[in-house]
Structure 1
Amino acid sequence: MARNNRKIVPESRTMLKQMQYEIASEFGLYGAGYGGGADTEFASELGATGGYSQTSTPYLGQLTSRENGSVGGEITKRLVKQAEQSLFR
């Protein structure tokens, strides 16, 4: 059975990737290979991204499923929180 993981809003892909790297950085998962845990919001301006650009991604093969799942879970929590806040405003 084919999986359909197509994004309803394709423009959200960039925002979700940025959120993924920010949360992983907050959790300390990327370490020196990803700029030493630098704040990813301004890291590209400061040149502290360890070579990361929009076209290349850091190697993440050393991360466990649990670590990756914690990032995905945190993304979900934050998106749900944002949605709840926008509903009750």
Structure 2
Amino acid sequence: MARSNRKVVPESKEMLKQLQFEIAAEFGLYGPGMGGAMDTEFATELGMGGMSASGRTPYLGHLTSRENGSVGGEITKRLIRQAEQSLYS
């Protein structure tokens, strides 16, 4: 059976992208001197500097697979934590 990366809730795309950049900034992977916004704590509010040639998305080609994986793992942890909190509150 083929895998699909289709979003179950398409409206979540922007929220997940914002979470991705916030976590990368917290880990020091996206910020000043790395193609990111000057203030990593508020990177999403300040906009995403260091855009690609198309001007649409930031260029993060300097990140390793391990670094990208750590961001994805942290996103998963936080989403699970939020789901658990909503079940028990």
TM-score normalised by structure 1 residue count: 0.81
Aligned residues of 1:23 and 1:74 also touching (Cα < 8 A): yes
Partner Cα separation in structure 2 for residue 42 and residue 78 of structure 1: 20
Aligned residues of 1:20 and 1:71 also touching (Cα < 8 A): yes
Q: Whose RCO is larger (CA < 8 A, sep 6+)? A: 1
Aligned residues of 1:28 and 1:37 also touching (Cα < 8 A): no
Match of 2:37 in 1: 35
Partner Cα separation in structure 2 for residue 86 and residue 68 of structure 1: 27
Structure 1 runs (4+) deviating above 6 angstroms are none
**Unaligned stretches of 5+ in structure 2?**
none
Give the letter aligned to residue 57 of structure 1: T
Identity of aligned residues (%): 66
Match of 1:16 in 2: 16
Q: Deviations over 1:59-78 (max 9, x none)?
A: 11110111000000000000
Root mean square deviation, CA, Å: 1.8
2:68 partner SS: helix
Aligned residues of 1:25 and 1:37 also touching (Cα < 8 A): no
